[in-house]
Structure 1
Amino acid sequence: MAEYHVISDAAGLVEACDLLAAGSGPVAVDVERASGFRYSQRAYLIQVYRRGAGVFLFDPPPIGDFAPLKRAIGSVLWILHAASQDLPSLRELDLEPEEMFDTELAARLLGHERVGLGAVVEHTLGITLAKAHSASDWSTRPLPQSWLEYAALDVEHLVDVYEALAAELVEQDKTDFAAQEFTAVLQRQPKPPRDDPWRRLSGLHTVRGRKALAVARSLWTAREEYAREQDVSPGRLVPDRALVAAIRANPTSKQALAANKEFMGRASRTQLDRWWAAIEAGRADENPPAERAAGGDSLPPPRAWVDRNPEADARLKCARPAVEAVAEGLSMPTENLLTPDTLRRVAWSPPEEFSAEAIAESLRALGAREWQIDHTAQTIADAFVESVQPVPEAESPVS
């Protein structure tokens, strides 16, 4: 593999940025986080490669200010893999491309069966990458050499992969599709926080009663606050299943909570006072949560449509296979042609007129890209019209 340089101070950053600025062509960028280990999604390593400059592995915590890197490569085309995962961590450091190419998204649009980085590199270049450290704790310091070598390989081949995929996009006449998708990823706003994030507690469906749910909310909040304070993944402090076990056991004292063998985790006993205080606070809550979360703008599951909204059910059942057929003709996954949620929303609340133009406006309002609209609006309109046609009666048999 090519030589790489580890940069962990401001002086090294400036030197590396001078080399990157003098390089040629696009830059390959990747980020390593400590998901599952840390509470934050901050970057713990940023890998950058540019032809004529080499591979640089930047250590964000000691560097801090990445303004020189932004000046060096900010206006250059960035090559990323699964950009939507890396962009939030990069934006925390005020690093963001003006233009980018996402090799994972391109592979999806091209119909590749496997779109992980290793699979895409192998498919396009015939090179096999080891993925031994993809789930490692990248907040570890010092980083082992084998991890650094793995990280360098993640960007060393990305420019070559980009050139291969860009050629494939031209061959399949999908260059404009990809450009629109990449722009959409860059412009996508972060999702607003969930109203009741504690309801995502795994196993919560086994908890019955509003008072028990109040305890669940209180315990989840206490764990979240401590996890944020310690910058540790919440599940590493006390797993979801342990919180649910404590709620269902309904302990009568702090000692009873401590005696519960299912209440486990590295902070289950060291922070016992915290958890018991949360349980007591939940029990004293005079405004316990409802048994079911408020609906918000979510739709009922499609299996319930036949009873709740039979006309929408008929529209969806006609439109879904029609859209799937278009995606198959384009050799791409249906969800990349049009997300299932977008199709469901149009089927549930369609425009008054089932025309391609009216459907196009509905799709556009839901965030569909123009290339997606061009390939699906007429198909969906035809399917919606078909859904309201009377079913012909079977002919009586000739006696």
Structure 2
Amino acid sequence: MVDETDRDDTPVEDTAPPEAPLLVLREPLPPVIDTAEGLAEVCEAVSAGSGPIAIDAERASGYRYSSRAYLVQLRRAGSHTHLIDPIAFESLAPLADALRGTEWILHAATQDLPCLAELGLRPDRLFDTELAGRLLGYPRVGLAALVELRLGSRLAKEHSAVDWSTRPLPTPWLEYAALDVEVLLELREVLVVELEEQGKTAWAEEEFEALRDFSPTPRAEAWRRTSGLHKVRGRRSLGAVRALWEVRDEIARERDVTPGRILPDSAIVAAATALPTHRRALLQTPGFHGRGAERYASRWMGALRQVAELAEDDLPSRAPRGDGPPVPRAWAEKDPVAAQRLSAARAALGELADEHGLPVENVLTPDHVRRLLWTPPATREPTQLAEAVDQRLSEYGARSWQRTLTVPLLTEAILAADSTEVAAPPAPD
């Protein structure tokens, strides 16, 4: 209720839509299951339910090195909501058995599938509400955004970044976690109807099937993602960033703490730029700080000494190693015909995306486009070229519906660019 003493009585035009009501639990908060007896009851209830199962997992991103799940939430029609503490169990095999043959509903499945797979939980069928939202052309596909837009309710998200490894878990956090699966069943029903209305059901089924066995690809030279790396000059300083990053990663793994809590990226960059030669100089380096700066000073100095002794050929170069094509901005200079192929393809794919109400990156993965157009198939006979393009995209992992839409456009882009005379770049002075 509004306090009348604080009300502003100045007449204003009410043009803003009313705020959607905040979602609250429909049922009492269930207990967290951490015993074999409790897990057996959950498995029995889930097996007795019907229809797809909403599943979510909470990790301690930003707090822990690992990506393990610290809470698993389930909801199925006829079996209510269940909260399971996976840390309390050596195995969740009984739950895996209870889930066998069901369709899982997840939001942003690539975030949760790896940590669920670590628990032995893998879907036989899948529906990803975030991906469905992308295929339907929604500009905002976060769970809270879709719930408000399609279900007309607000979903509080203030506990999304908390430390889920905390024990015991506070009640407000558990209520937040339970709400995430309460809404998934209803949201799926709405999105299923919309996919059918837009003729995208088969597309979605292909996408969901491709996601079932998802596992993250290890990053090559992950140290190059150090924030502030662009400030570092010289190969030896780059080598220092690599060495300090690797030591920090090792410590973080040992302690199961997120690396930034050991030493921030800014401290790595400061030390790599200064290249101190002894412990005191390291600790006096401006910008070298963090919880582990002094505690692990001997390990930081050991890494820096090793870098100082490396031969020049063993130091990293500025450009990362890679097997893919160069960055698009360099194509015009390196291969003008390839640049023209890419330009024509991008324009055609953009129009196709608009026509079907899709983000262009969901029409076809940009990396697939670049790899194909930098080194296209050799043949220029149209039918053979189209078949070769289709085969290449299939090898990259493009789905059937994507290839059906894009192969004609990409084939035309290749043929058109190769038949057009492209002016050579001006010779250097």
Which TM-score bucket, shorter chain as reference?
over 0.9
Counterpart in 1 of 2:282? 257
Q: Distance in 1 between matches of 2:263 and 2:212?
A: 35
Counterpart in 1 of 2:102? 76
C-alpha spacing 1:370/1:318, structure 2 compared with 1 (3 Å): same
Counterpart in 1 of 2:408? 378
Counterpart in 1 of 2:301? 276
Secondary structure, counterpart of 2:56 in structure 1:
strand
Out of 365, 368, 379, the residue aligned to residue 395 of structure 2 is: 365
Contact 1:4 1:57 in 2 (8 A): no
Is it true that 1:201 corresponds to 2:226 in the alignment? yes
Q: How does 1:294-373 map to 2 (within 5 A)?
A: 295-354=321-380, 355=382, 356-373=386-403
Q: Distance in 2 between matches of 1:375 and 1:228?
A: 44
Contact 2:110 2:214 in 1 (8 A): no
Q: Structure 2: state its 5+ residue gaps.
A: 1-24, 423-429
After superposition, the C-alpha distances for 1:302-344 in whole angstroms (9 at most, x for unaligned) are 1100011111100011111101111111111111111111111
Is it true that 1:388 corresponds to 2:413 in the alignment? no
Out of 67, 71, 77, the residue aligned to residue 41 of structure 1 is: 67
- Aligned residues: percent identity? 49
Q: Distance in 1 between matches of 2:349 and 2:339?
A: 15
The amino acid across from 1:377 in the alignment is V
TM-score normalized by the length of structure 1: 0.94
The amino acid across from 2:282 in the alignment is L
Q: Distance in 2 between matches of 1:4 and 1:147?
A: 11
The amino acid across from 2:354 in the alignment is E
Please state how far the C-alpha of 1:271 moved relative to its aligned partner.
1.9
Please state how far the C-alpha of 1:293 moved relative to its aligned partner.
4.6
Aligned length: 391
Counterpart in 1 of 2:202? 176
The amino acid across from 1:275 in the alignment is W
Bigger mean CA offset, 285-294 vs 211-220:
285-294
Q: Distance in 1 between matches of 2:296 and 2:249?
A: 13
Q: Distance in 2 between matches of 1:316 and 1:244?
A: 36
CA RMSD of aligned residues (A): 1.7
C-alpha spacing 1:113/1:190, structure 2 compared with 1 (3 Å): closer
Q: Structure 1: state its 5+ residue gaps.
A: 393-399
Which consecutive segments of 4 or more residues in structure 1 shift more than 4 A? none
Q: How does 1:220-299 map to 2 (within 5 A)?
A: 220-286=245-311, 288-293=314-319, 295-299=321-325
Please state how far the C-alpha of 1:57 moved relative to its aligned partner.
1.1
Bigger mean CA offset, 55-64 vs 293-302:
293-302
Please state how far the C-alpha of 1:294 moved relative to its aligned partner.
5.2
Q: Distance in 1 between matches of 2:175 and 2:216?
A: 32
Please state how far the C-alpha of 1:192 moved relative to its aligned partner.
4.2
Counterpart in 2 of 1:395? none
Is it true that 1:158 corresponds to 2:184 in the alignment? yes
Please state how far the C-alpha of 1:244 moved relative to its aligned partner.
0.8
Please state how far the C-alpha of 1:358 moved relative to its aligned partner.
2.6
TM-score normalized by the length of structure 2: 0.87
Please state how far the C-alpha of 1:64 moved relative to its aligned partner.
2.9
Contact 1:210 1:288 in 2 (8 A): no
The amino acid across from 2:65 in the alignment is Y
Q: Distance in 2 between matches of 1:353 and 1:188?
A: 34
Contact 1:34 1:138 in 2 (8 A): yes
C-alpha spacing 1:290/1:218, structure 2 compared with 1 (3 Å): closer
